[in-house]
Amino acid sequence: MHDAQIFDPRSTDCKSPYGAVPSGTAVTFTLRPDRSWGFSRVTMLARFESSENRTVERNLHWDGLDGRRDRYNCTLEVGDYVGLVWYSFCMESLDGRRADLGEYQLTVYDDSETVPGWFGEGVTYQIFPDRFRRRTVPSPQGMIGGRSVHTGWREEPAYRPDENGEIRNRDFFGGSLAGVREKLPYLRSLGVDTIYFCPIFEAPENHRYGTGDYEKIDPMLGDEKEFRAMCAEAHDLGMRIMLDGVFNHTGFVSRYFNGDGSYQTQVPGAAQSPDSPYRKWYNFIRWPDQYDSWWGIYSLPAVNESEPSYMDYIIKGENSIIRRWLRAGADGWRLDVADELPDAFVHALHQAVRETKPDAMVIGEVWEDGSSKIAYGVRRKHILGGHCDGLMNYPFRNAAISYLLGGDAKDFMEAMERLRANYPPFAYHSTMNALGTHDTPRILTLLGVGSPCAEQSRDWRASYRMDREQMARGIARLKLGTLILYTFPGSPTVYYGDEAGMEGFEDPFNRRTYPWGEENEALIAWYRMLGQFRHRFTALRRGEITYHTAKGRLLVFRRTFGEEQVVTAVNAGERERRVCLPWAARDLITGETFPRFANGECHVNMPPLTGRLLVPAEE
């Protein structure tokens, strides 16, 4: 007995409507057991998780035959419920035999708000600000954090522990907002629609994830005037700006905690005085030297996000951090470690974003399926409406890399189809899809070498550079991966320098400086071409997805919007394959055309490690 033959939760023949449903929907379920199995009674149990696991039982009614199969169906009204429904079926025969199917997930979301489509439709470019572009070598004098500045732009980032055994990330290269402004035309030429910045607020470390002052652009990057000018120029070029919101923790070196006294302010930090107005922001186990911190890292003291004064400062106040920087020119926020922010905090932030700039977006950092994520014992509401508009799509990255490195295309399809079924449409089409980020090894290295080489020493990984064969293999696989990336639902997101051929293993080797003047121009041309295709075809920005083939090393899917259709075909294997289509095809990448034969079929040859973007050709 094959469950999928009886009930497939991703088929509208078995469950209608497809996938996640808005609150208020009546969902119809149909089971088709083989008549010879003799099942005469079918029941459904539906558990409404967010309503204290309230369970509803439904009898499925016999509704005739489909060939040799009985057809049983029922309808489940979800009412005003929002959350996950877990449902299962029990089939029973007159002689007492029974068979169970499930549990299956049904996502019920709040659709009372229209989510802007610009993020998911556009191309995103992620910038690590210190390493993208500098105009001059800055002086660190007077800046917090005991910084040093590399005089040579192409020097290696510091990666060894200091004399105290710490890796402090205090070496800077001096990338700036002025440098980004200079390269805005370049980014637009790549087809970039959204620039996503890693943190830009004042902070002691080069990654700036331990915020020192949310009200101040880091002086090495520039100031608020420079930020406003950059946003205005980006907007004039048709691009938007997304900021990194790091609200789960601040810096040990910050005006709020002020653990080392670096901030000479009239208002004492939480570690300086128990009477500090910031004292309630932190959870001290023993004041002032024992406190909760992010993953136990002392330099990143965790905040109490539910503390009213903190919520007012970050979110609710008229001039809160969220509102202030949206008014200054930002168009959205990416929430760092969204799983560690309370749902109430994220909901309030979402409301403030919409009130301040109605078309602004909120994207959450989540590494798993965000529809069913449990964090700290709580099922999260990330994409049930009124929280995150979309999430970082690490499941896409994991599935794509596995496929490119030898996995079965079917596994990629299954992983992605699970997300499509579980995510509300607004969230599925607003995912931030990426092959690499500041938290992962450079994608070119990973695809060329084949692994992160974690078994090797850190010194080995620091000095490693791919040989010619590895580089060629990495580029070939990267082209296939980016073809999938740019033609998949959600925003294709490029980590700065991936388009230029940057290589490197984990942090900080994945955070080297952009190689201006030493770029791989052929690779840049490839990314530019994909960006043009993304802009040219509505189907690639908004279209639905169906899979033509997902077997072995061959992956073929179709995006359709109205009469427009575009087919992505990828052969990640070492032997030639063939794709059969019902219409004459033209490959947009090579210009080749493939006619239809007399039998009505078009045969498209797929050489090893080849990708094609196919559209109907005139006959």
pLDDT in tens, 485-541: 999 999 999 999 999 999 999 999 999 999 999 999 999 999 999 999 999 999 999
302-332 pLDDT, tens digit each: 999 999 999 999 999 999 999 999 999 999 9
For the cut 70, the answer to whether the pLDDT of residue 13 exceeds it is yes
Per-residue pLDDT at 242 exceeds 80: yes
- The rounded distance, in Å, linking the Cα atoms of 180 and 162 is 31
* Strands, E assignment, 128-191: 148-149, 171-172
Residue 417 φ then ψ, to 5°? -70, -30
State phi, psi for 229 to the nearest 5 degrees.
-65, -40
- At residue 619 the predicted structure's pLDDT band, cuts being 50, 70 and 90, is confident
pLDDT at residue 2, rounded to an integer: 59
Look up residue 136 and give its DSSP letter.
Answer: S
Q: How many CB atoms are located within 10 Å of the residue 481 CB?
A: 24
The domain 3-109 is classified under which CATH number: 3.30.870.10, 3.30.390.30, 2.60.40.10, 3.40.50.300?
A: 2.60.40.10
> Who contacts 225 (Cβ-Cβ below 8 Å, separation ≥6)?
none
Asked whether 391 and 441 are in contact (CB, 8 A), the reply is no
Give the H or E element holding residue 145: none
Peptide bond connecting 138 to the previous residue in cis, omega within 30 degrees of 0: no
Mean pLDDT in residue range 464-475: 98
What's the mean pLDDT when you consider all of the chain? 97
Residues 445, 504 contacting (CB under 8 angstroms): yes
Which residue in this structure is represented by tokens 């696989």?
A: 477
What pairs with residue 73 in β-bridges?
30, 61
Q: Provide the pLDDT for residue 1.
A: 54
Mean pLDDT of 434-450: 98
pLDDT at 524 (0 to 100): 98
191-247+305-536: CATH number: 3.20.20.80
User: Hey, do 3-109 and 539-616 end up sharing a CATH topology, with the first three levels equal?
Assistant: yes
* Mean pLDDT of the 377-405 span: 98
Find residue 91's DSSP bridge partners.
42, 99
Q: Read off the pLDDT of residues 558-580 as tens digits, 9 standing for 90 and up.
A: 999 999 999 999 999 999 999 99
Average pLDDT over residues 598-608: 95
Please report the pLDDT score of residue 207 as a whole number. 98
Torsion over CA: 366, 188, 173, 500 (sign): positive
CATH 3.40.309.10 fits 539-616, yes or no: no
Instruction: Tell me the two tokens of residue 36.
Output: 């010879």
Q: Is the pLDDT of residue 3 over 90?
A: no
- The domain limits of the chain are 3-109, 191-247+305-536, 249-304, 539-616
DSSP 8-state assignment for residue 36: G
The string of pLDDT tens digits covering residues 89-148 is 999 999 999 999 999 999 999 999 999 999 999 999 999 999 999 999 999 999 999 999
pLDDT for position 4: 76
For 237, phi then psi, to 5°, come to -90, 0
Q: Check residue 455 and give its pLDDT.
A: 97
Q: Average pLDDT in the 151-169 region?
A: 95
